Structure 1
Amino acid sequence: MRRPGPSRRSRALTGTVVLLCAAALTGLVGCSGESDAPSDGAGKASPAPEGDLAGTVVEAVAETRRTSARFDQEITMSDGKQTQLLFIKGDFDMAGDMGRLTVEIPEIGGARAEELFVAGKVYLRAVKETAGPWGYFDRNKSEVHLPLRAPMNDPEHTLFQVGMAKNVYYQGVEKMNGAPAKHYRGMLDHLAVSLRLGKSQQEDANRERASRGEDVPVYADVWIDEAGRVVQTRTAFDFGDNTTTVTTVFSDFGKPVKVTAPPAAGLATLSPVPHILTG
């Protein structure tokens, strides 16, 4: 059977990626806007288990969110003609809800942004030859605009999302960070995939789901170490020529993380429009 071609939503998402790439550092700081607070926010609630193995993943997510870690994330997005890579890295105290990270797009002249998570805010500035002004978002009001991205690249969102995996199966033991880790694979349903989507993107996702009559297949892989912590996640979908893969590695658990908010003087407000650097 011939695989169906990309839908209008898929083509729209691809077009959004290309347009955002072309203006990766333009208009990053602008006028503020308001949106309804998403349901999960930065809270510590965990998704409900779905069977024994799904429960194992939920428990590992909860254990990981009780500590701090270094994380390294690689995102690959492709429309079959062009592939876009993003690299995100930083340190995050998930128990204390604070952290710092950088996000880079090597293909766009070294486009880079820095982010600070502290006291319920996300502070962001673009960096090219020099650092731009800091702006900020309310963390709980930040949204997702591209498939499988996290709002403002929040690593806790990534953990929360994989904790919603269903039909989870054990895949075996593999080496991660030089130590054995148990590999589990499940599927993310429509609710998990559309978590924290902006209003227009949510409407598109709902129409896509309705037209298919079933969820777009999205895989979630989770690796758990002997201490019961998540050491790697991978989420991926393959829909025609459109693919996205997000791989996140957690390491150096328990390391101290200290973050200080930028001075209030000179702070700008951030526009809520979609932007490839911020998800």
Structure 2
Amino acid sequence: MVVQDRRGGGAAAVAVACGTGLAVGLLATGCSPEGAAADDQEPSGRAAAAAAATVRGSADALVRAGSARVRTAMETVSGGTRVAIRGTGGYDFATSSGRLRVVLPDPAGKPSGGHQPITEILAPGALYMKNRGAGVPADKWVRVDTASLTDGNLVTGGATDPLAAAELLRGAREVTYQGEERMDGAVVRHYRGTTDIGTAAKAASSRTRSALVAAEKGFTTDAVPFDAYLDEAGRLRKVRQWFHFANGAPNGASVISTTELSGFGAWVAVRLPDERDIYAGKIASAAS
């Protein structure tokens, strides 16, 4: 997958539309922000603010958890064609690093159709891939500087870095609480909203800020819709995020990234490849 795009005016158009709708509503009721209508909306406003604050704090809760097992799914939809990439592994939030086994689909869309699974190591500022293909020796790793990618590796590697997915929620806004559900035997709270990449980049930790800054330039809009599921400790158990970019398609293309976390505190061993094991030759694309 290659993301090549510059932001359009989508986010601005949405903001203008929402602002106009609010203005029309106030004129229709004849109320000012100091009137009875504003008083009636106060409880819901406080609830929305509390929901947004809870979602924004989910990254901190994951860091406190230490580590987790990870399942990822990434679906691309372009021109009516849907392709899914799936991964499994573990992530250490203390070191901001993880290891995933990513399975690519065959041309018919079925998983692992003759493709060798790719081993990915996620680390601050870098993505390492083994069994990368495109002429890379089987025993070598490919290293990609995530800050050099136009999407900050939110979608390029076929799996969103779990910490980056959580830190992206630091820009959460317009959050609504959808109620309680059960997931893997645990009670989770479901939140839905939109997060802003630029806002998240400013609030992110130093470990993921450069990636989010890069991502701010790569998509059609900074606005990323999401569904997030948090457990009673405020830890992110599942997050689904929708990204959109042009990528040369008439109606653009969308990427749906889902990250699931479980087994908090599980032992996760991540060892970065030695320099001598990193392929220094020319490759096609970090996403193909």
Q: State the secondary structure of the residue aligned to 1:228.
A: coil
- Is the 2:171–2:197 contact (alpha carbons within 8 Å) kept by the matching residues of 1? no
Please tell me the residue identity of whatever aligns with 1:126.
Answer: N
- Is the 1:145–1:274 contact (alpha carbons within 8 Å) kept by the matching residues of 2? no
Counterpart in the other structure of 1:245 = 256
2 CA distance for matches of 1:237 and 1:148? 9
Q: CA deviation at 1:269?
A: 3.8
How far does the alpha carbon of each residue in 1:160-217 deviate from its partner, in whole angstroms, 9 at most, with x for none? 112322111100001112211000111123636993446xx92x74xx55xxxxx6x6
Counterpart in the other structure of 1:179 = 186
- Is the 1:142–1:272 contact (alpha carbons within 8 Å) kept by the matching residues of 2? no
Counterpart in the other structure of 1:123 = 128
Please tell me the residue identity of whatever aligns with 1:99.
Answer: G
- Is the 1:144–1:196 contact (alpha carbons within 8 Å) kept by the matching residues of 2? no
Q: CA deviation at 1:56?
A: 0.5
2 CA distance for matches of 1:119 and 1:190? 18
Counterpart in the other structure of 1:60 = 58
Q: CA deviation at 1:87?
A: 0.7
Higher deviation after alignment, 217-226 or 176-185: 217-226
Query: Does 2:139 correspond to 1:149?
Result: no
Query: Does 2:238 correspond to 1:232?
Result: yes
The normalised TM-score by structure 2 is 0.63
2 CA distance for matches of 1:274 and 1:125? 14
Please tell me the residue identity of whatever aligns with 2:82.
Answer: T
2 CA distance for matches of 1:64 and 1:232? 12
Counterpart in the other structure of 2:142 = 135
- Is the 1:147–1:193 contact (alpha carbons within 8 Å) kept by the matching residues of 2? no
- Is the 2:168–2:197 contact (alpha carbons within 8 Å) kept by the matching residues of 1? no
The normalised TM-score by structure 1 is 0.65
Q: CA deviation at 1:101?
A: 1.0
Please tell me the residue identity of whatever aligns with 1:257.
Answer: V
2 CA distance for matches of 1:247 and 1:188? 15
Instruction: Return 5+ residue gaps in structure 2 as ranges.
Output: 7-47, 108-113, 202-211, 246-250
Residues 163/273 of structure 1: CA separation in 2 closer, same or farther (3 Å cut): farther
2 CA distance for matches of 1:271 and 1:253? 39
Counterpart in the other structure of 2:37 = none
Larger gyration radius, structure 1 or structure 2:
2
Name segments (4+ residues, structure 1) moved above 6 Å: 270-273
How many residues align? The count is 218
Please tell me the residue identity of whatever aligns with 1:235.
Answer: Q
Counterpart in the other structure of 1:264 = 275
Query: Does 2:63 correspond to 1:99?
Result: no
Question: Structure 1 or 2: larger helix share?
Answer: 2
Counterpart in the other structure of 2:177 = 170
Residues 132/192 of structure 1: CA separation in 2 closer, same or farther (3 Å cut): farther
1 CA distance for matches of 2:94 and 2:156? 18
